[in-house]
Amino acid sequence: MLNTLLKKLIQTSSGRTRFVMAIIGLSVALLLILSAVQIQVDYDDLLHSKTNQDSIANFLVLNKILNNKTYGTATFKEEDLSKLKQQHFIDDIGILTASRFKASVQSNSDRFPFYTDISFESVPTAFIDVNSKDWKWKEGDDFIPMIAPNMFLDIYNFQFSLSQNLPQLTQDIVKMIVFKVNINTDKGPVSFKGRIVGFSDRISSLLVPQEFNDWANTNFGNTQNTKPSRVVIRTKDPGNPTLVQYLKDNGLTTDADKTRFSKYRQIVTAIVNVSWITGAVMLLFALLVFTLFIQLTIASCKEEIQLLITLGASPKQLQRFLMKQFFPSNIIIIIISLIAITGLQFEVHQLLQEQNIFVSTFTSYYTCITALVILLVLWFVNYRTISKYIAVQDK
Amino acid sequence: MQIELKQIVPIPLKDKFSQRNSDLWNQTVLFQHGEWVKIKAPSGTGKTTFIHTLYKLRHDYSGQVFYDDQEIKNITGDTLAEIRQHKISIVFQDLRLFPNLTARENIELKRVLQAPFYEAIMIDEMADKLGVTGILNQRAGLCSYGEQQRIAIIRSLIQPFEWLLLDEPFSHLDHENISKAASLIAEECSKRQAGFILTDLDEDEHFNYSRKLQL
């Protein structure tokens, strides 16, 4: 009953247009801020999650530039490696170990005959972007899992098979073929069974498990050139100018394609930042308009409020009433914004799934926490403004 | 609750009042709980100033006013509201109704501002006693002064109180209505064992006053 009477006395409809403007501004600001948070979270998700087959985390394979000057010495020495490890833009470093023995693969089947000399490389598992339960080897095992670069299959499917009149092969078919791996030793060839267990875009060589490569190198390999000639590094930003400059200064080179990929990263970062800043600025203005609206409402009912206080209405009662008038709209805006973000996230999830990029179906809890924090800020601003202007009338 | 005055003199009227003999200005006065006090004073001697000082609407005075042991300059905000809701009620000389609310809404507002002392039906009963039933649903701004004054009286009586401040409460009423209003006020004060402080221009016998003072 008291609220009905107060509603009659304190008309909140005096600045309807301003109110609508404040509400719209607040909604847009919230959408921008929340989507900035969500994009950032999705993005971090893509960078660090293990579920993404084609992770866009940045792995660069480095080697020394091979030219007339460096001929024969294009390997990494201990000091080169420790120097690399010390660089702040390098998160992790893995050594690509090349096989130092002669090997070949050949088909087991007469219907599909092939034979080729081959060499392997191996790298610590943390640097590999293929998840396969078969990716393991221990001494005594007859089966060697291998990871092939996507590029190999592309060359076969779109060039070689056409010229040789051979059938094209999908990834799944290739993964089913078991072939024979021969290692030439002083005592004659040693044979293993081999199979491709996955395809990778990250490292452009035929990979075998580190354990196998080490074992085979120790037992069958020559002892020259044991120094690594290629390393793989993980970095947050391959477009980082310091990194690019470091590589140049130390005569190192990498695949330029990855650095081009980093351009997209920078664009994403720029979008997130612009969204943040615009959202924050808009929030600030929306808050200002909202504050002014509250101030205007109280000022336009100044006499009524003063008389109410004279008659014994407590400032607390009036604050509570005014909060009830203004604050629910803020809660509604936050809820609507969150629903909109959830909808968008779902759409993005669907869209990216088609491209084998996996982001969460739902809004991240960071986004929800941000919404909650903004709600608290709104509550605080509402409360402070109302308290302040009621106190002015109480004087 | 008792109300105590210690040497209060309104600052704007200091020179004027320090010359005169007054029972209240510049004196120490104690109003005991339940006293019915009449303050008589000609125009321009500060009746409204006095009432407003007691009700803590004015701060421009020297001296001190106490509600029990508490100096009212130290009572603010929600505590002051609490006192106005439960202990001190008032009829202003200028009535101070909300012109856009109906007469009933004006009274109802004061009834529900705190936990109600009376049921809503009491508004009709009091209005009936003062002959304003017909205008209860009319906007207060459209009522005559006489009607507004009676609404203001009912408004002051609908809440709980220990003291009732009445600033020339009958100025717009005829004799018949004055005696009706006075008997209602007396009845309500007796019921609560409450005191009142009434200011007026002339002598009167509307109440069985416990004290009569000259401002």
Which tens digit of pLDDT belongs to each residue from A70-87? 787 778 888 888 888 888
CA-based nearest distance A23→chain B, Å: 29
The answer to whether B57 contacts chain A (CB < 8 Å) is: yes
CA-based nearest distance A37→chain B, Å: 42
The answer to whether B101 contacts chain A (CB < 8 Å) is: yes
Nearest to A313 among B76, B81, B100 (CB): B81
Query: Which two tokens mark A277?
Result: 């800043």
**pLDDT band of A53, cuts 50, 70, 90:** very low
**pLDDT band of A89, cuts 50, 70, 90:** confident
Which tens digit of pLDDT belongs to each residue from A319-368? 999 999 889 989 999 999 999 999 999 998 888 888 777 788 888 889 99
- Domain contains B15: no
The answer to whether B84 contacts chain A (CB < 8 Å) is: yes
Which tens digit of pLDDT belongs to each residue from A122-146? 998 888 877 788 888 988 888 999 9
Q: In whole numbers, what is the pLDDT of chain B averaged over residues?
A: 92
The answer to whether A313 contacts chain B (CB < 8 Å) is: yes
d(CA A302, CA A284): 26
- The nearest alpha carbon in chain A to B52 belongs to A310
pLDDT in the model for residue A107: 84
pLDDT in the model for residue A40: 82
**pLDDT band of B190, cuts 50, 70, 90:** very high
Beta-carbon separation of A8 and B100 below 8 A: yes
**pLDDT band of A309, cuts 50, 70, 90:** very high
B59, B60, B64, B67: which is closest to B86 by C-alpha?
B67
Residues of B in contact with A304 (CB under 8 A): 98
B24, B19, B73: which is closest to B46 by C-alpha?
B24
**pLDDT band of A55, cuts 50, 70, 90:** very low
- Domain contains B10: no
**pLDDT band of B127, cuts 50, 70, 90:** very high
- The nearest alpha carbon in chain B to A311 belongs to B84
pLDDT in the model for residue A30: 87
- Domain contains B197: yes
The answer to whether A2 contacts chain B (CB < 8 Å) is: yes
Residues of A in contact with B83 (CB under 8 A): 312
pLDDT in the model for residue A43: 78
Cα–chain center distance at A363: 15
Q: In whole numbers, what is the pLDDT of chain A averaged over residues?
A: 84
**pLDDT band of A264, cuts 50, 70, 90:** low
**pLDDT band of B25, cuts 50, 70, 90:** confident
CA-based nearest distance B109→chain A, Å: 6
A194-205: average pLDDT: 86
Q: In chain B, pLDDT over 90 holds for what percent of residues?
A: 81
Beta-carbon separation of B101 and A304 below 8 A: no
Beta-carbon separation of B85 and A307 below 8 A: no
Exposure string over A133-159, b if 16+ CB within 10 A, otherwise e:
eebebeeeeeebbbbbbeebbeebbee
CATH number, domain of B120, equals 3.40.50.300
Flag whether pLDDT at B138 surpasses 80. yes
Beta-carbon separation of B96 and A310 below 8 A: yes
The answer to whether A312 contacts chain B (CB < 8 Å) is: yes
Candidate from A118-122, B90-94, B158-162 with smallest mean pLDDT:
A118-122
pLDDT in the model for residue A12: 65
A35, A42, A135: which is closest to A357 by C-alpha?
A42
**Mutating which of A10, A11, A314, A321 best tests the B interface, going by the most B Cβ atoms within 10 A?**
A314
A280-285: average pLDDT: 86
Beta-carbon separation of A314 and B110 below 8 A: no
Beta-carbon separation of A314 and B100 below 8 A: no
pLDDT in the model for residue A51: 54
Flag whether pLDDT at A54 surpasses 50. no
Q: In chain A, pLDDT over 90 holds for what percent of residues?
A: 17
Candidate from A115-119, A226-230, A377-381 with smallest mean pLDDT:
A226-230
Beta-carbon separation of A317 and B113 below 8 A: yes
B31-45: average pLDDT: 90
d(CA B209, CA A232): 103
Beta-carbon separation of A2 and B113 below 8 A: yes
Q: DSSP state, A99?
A: P
N-terminal to C-terminal alpha carbon distance within chain A: 27
d(CA B214, CA B202): 11
pLDDT in the model for residue A394: 67
Candidate from A69-78, A326-335, B20-29, B155-164 with smallest mean pLDDT:
A69-78
Whether ipTM > 0.90 holds is: yes
Residues of B in contact with A301 (CB under 8 A): none
Q: Where are the domains of chain A?
A: 2-54+263-394, 58-255
Tell me whether strands B211-214 and B195-200 are parallel, antiparallel or unpaired: unpaired
pLDDT in the model for residue B44: 81
- Domain contains B100: yes
A345, A332, A344: which is closest to A371 by C-alpha?
A332
The total number of structural domains that make up chain B = 1
pLDDT in the model for residue A261: 56
Residue where the block lists tokens 């629903």: A339
Beta-carbon separation of A2 and B85 below 8 A: no
Better pLDDT: B103 or A64: B103
pLDDT in the model for residue A258: 60
- The nearest alpha carbon in chain A to B58 belongs to A395
Residues of B in contact with A307 (CB under 8 A): 96, 98
Which tens digit of pLDDT belongs to each residue from A329-341? 899 999 999 999 9
Cβ neighbours of residue B122 closer than 8 Å, sequence gap 6 or more:
B158
The answer to whether A319 contacts chain B (CB < 8 Å) is: no
- The nearest alpha carbon in chain A to B98 belongs to A304
Beta strand ranges found along chain B (DSSP E): 3-10, 28-31, 36-40, 61-67, 70-71, 88-91, 163-167, 195-200, 211-214
**Domain boundaries, position B101:** 34-44+76-214
**Mutating which of B57, B89, B92, B113 best tests the A interface, going by the most A Cβ atoms within 10 A?**
B113
- Domain contains B56: no
Distances (CA, A) of A162 to A47, A153, A168, A390: 37, 13, 8, 84
pLDDT in the model for residue B81: 93
